[in-house]
Amino acid sequence: MLKAYQKYFLNKLGWFLVTFVCAFILNFILPRLMPGDPVAAIVSRFAQGLSNATGVQAIYQQYTELFGTNRPMLEQFFIYVRNVVRGDFGFSFSMYPRTVADVLKSAIGWTICLQFPAIIVGWLIGNTLGALAAYLKGGFDKVLMPVSIFASNFPAFGMAIIFLVILGVGLEWFPTSGGYGFDMIPNFSWEFIWSVIVHYQLPFWSIVTIAIGGQAIGMRSMSIYELNADYVKYARFMGIQDKKIIGYVFRNAMLPQITGLALSIGTMVGGALFVEIVFSYPGLGYTLLNGVMGGDYPLISASTLIITVMVLSANFIIEILYGIIDPRIKAAQAD
């Protein structure tokens, strides 16, 4: 028994490492295959209005040297690996002379604070509603299903703008932009915290509203499938209490949903781009978008590396937990 689990664990770990190495290499190579020259973008800031050709050329060479973009790709890769091992992601091209670490540090907190609770809340509400719809059927299901399908297919941008226009501009219940009041200076006062909370609401509910629909639909289908499973019928014949049966049903229906949750949490560092743009909310999504647009290799590589690590880790942990929670999976894998 233990040996089977060990084999399962080592198997998963092996795949984790292989995937990680592949992803790491791709994270490095893919941004560098994009067209455009990021150093030219930096030089453009220095060179506007510069009329002597040698001056511009000198500046250009200075920066290609500094960023190492003139070296062969393989050499760049080994320098990158060496630096990453030391925790040094280098300068951000698009925000030079800021370092990538500094750029990420100032934005990632906002992103996680917004995304993590939103994903959890959306997931909880969505799954609860989905399960209820499957169990209660009737009117509740008939209303919930179309609403969920509508919400989950509604463009995220549109939802955020509707919230902005109705609740922010029209009713003026909530502020329309920023992570805290336009007239505030960050400090530990009740006013500031309140300002953060108020500014949090529209971005937060924009994400949650979209998330709920998809989760509810998935959970409903899974639950209906489980509710009709043989073991449920058998349990009913046995006279087991409904409450107890429901417990079993939802535990089983939950499994795929947990995988989905793990993936959402893994990718959340990528930011909620639409929310950040519509509400000018601070975070990594917009920074990353600018990085991609500006060919900011170090920033793209660092961000995608974090996302890779988080997705792989979340997946790995879930797989390991599955092995424990659901013996069927372990058994199938160990064969």
Partner 1 sequence: MRKSILFVVSLLVALSLVLPACAPPAPEVIEKTVEVPVEVEVEVPVEVTVEVPVEVTPIVEEDPTALPRNETMYFNGQQWGPVVGWNPYSSSNNNAMAISQGDNARVVMFETPYLYNMLDGQMYPLLADGPWSWNADMTEITFKIKKAAKWSDGTPLTAEDVAYTWATHVKYNTPTGAANVDYIDTIEAVDAQTVVIKAKLDADGKTVNPLAVAAYVSSNYVLQKAWTETLEARAGGDATELLADTAEDVVYSGPYTKFFADDQKVIYVRDDNYWGQDASMWGKLPAPKYLAHTIFKDNAAGSVALAKGEVDVSQQFNSNIQLLWLSYGLPISTYLPEAPYGIGASLPTAYYNLNSPGLDQVAVRKAIAIAVDYPTIIANAMTNQSATFDQVPRSLMNPTDGEQALYDHDAVADLQWAGNDIEGAKKLLDDAGIVDSDGDGWREYNGQKLSYIATCPNGWSDWQAAIEVVAAAGQEIGIEISSSYPEWSVYQTIVTKSDAPLPEGYDIFMMWSDGAGPTQPWGRIRHLLSSEFVGMASNWNGNWGQYSNPDVDALIQAIPGETDPAKLKEMYTELVKMYLTDIPSFTLMYRPQSFHAVNETVWTNFPHQDDGTDPPVPPLDCTDGWGVACLYNVTLVSP
Asked whether the beta carbons of 271 and 111 are under 8 A apart, the reply is: yes
What minimum distance in Å lies between the beta carbon of 22 and partner 1? Answer: 26
Report if residue 282 touches partner 1, rule: CB under 8 A. Answer: yes
Residue 326 dihedral angles phi and psi, to the nearest 5°: -115, 100
- Residue of 276, 302, 306, 315 interacting with partner 1 (CB under 8 A): 276
What minimum distance in Å lies between the beta carbon of 260 and partner 1? Answer: 17
- Residue of 86, 188, 243, 335 interacting with partner 1 (CB under 8 A): 188
Q: String of b and e for 76-106 (b: at least 16 CB within 10 Å)?
A: bbeebeeebeeeebbbbbbbbeebbbebbee
- Which residue's CB is nearer to partner 1, number 201 or number 252? 201
**Residues 22-61: x/- map of binding to partner 1 (CB under 8 A)?**
------------xxxxx-xxxxxxxxxxxxxx-xxxxxx-
User: Concatenated DSSP letters for 13-73?
Assistant: HHHHHHHHHHHHHHHHHHHHTSSS-HHHHHHHHHHTT---HHHHHHHHHHHHHHHTTTS-H
Segment contacting partner 1 by CB under 8 A, of 151-159, 163-171, 214-222, 225-233: 163-171
* C-alpha torsion angle, residues 326, 327, 333, 335 (rounded to 10): -160
Task: Check residue 91 and report its DSSP letter.
Answer: B
Count of residues interacting with partner 1 (CB under 8 A): 85
- Which residue's CB is nearer to partner 1, number 150 or number 182? 182
Burial class (CB in 10 A: 0-12, 13-18, 19+), 15: middle
- Which residue's CB is nearer to partner 1, number 99 or number 315? 99
Report if residue 305 touches partner 1, rule: CB under 8 A. Answer: no
Residue 91 dihedral angles phi and psi, to the nearest 5°: -85, 145
- Residue of 31, 90, 130, 179 interacting with partner 1 (CB under 8 A): 179
Report if residue 243 touches partner 1, rule: CB under 8 A. Answer: no
What minimum distance in Å lies between the beta carbon of 144 and partner 1? Answer: 18
What minimum distance in Å lies between the beta carbon of 47 and partner 1? Answer: 4
Cis peptide before 97 (omega within 30 of 0): yes
- Residue of 295, 298, 315, 318 interacting with partner 1 (CB under 8 A): 295
What minimum distance in Å lies between the beta carbon of 283 and partner 1? Answer: 9
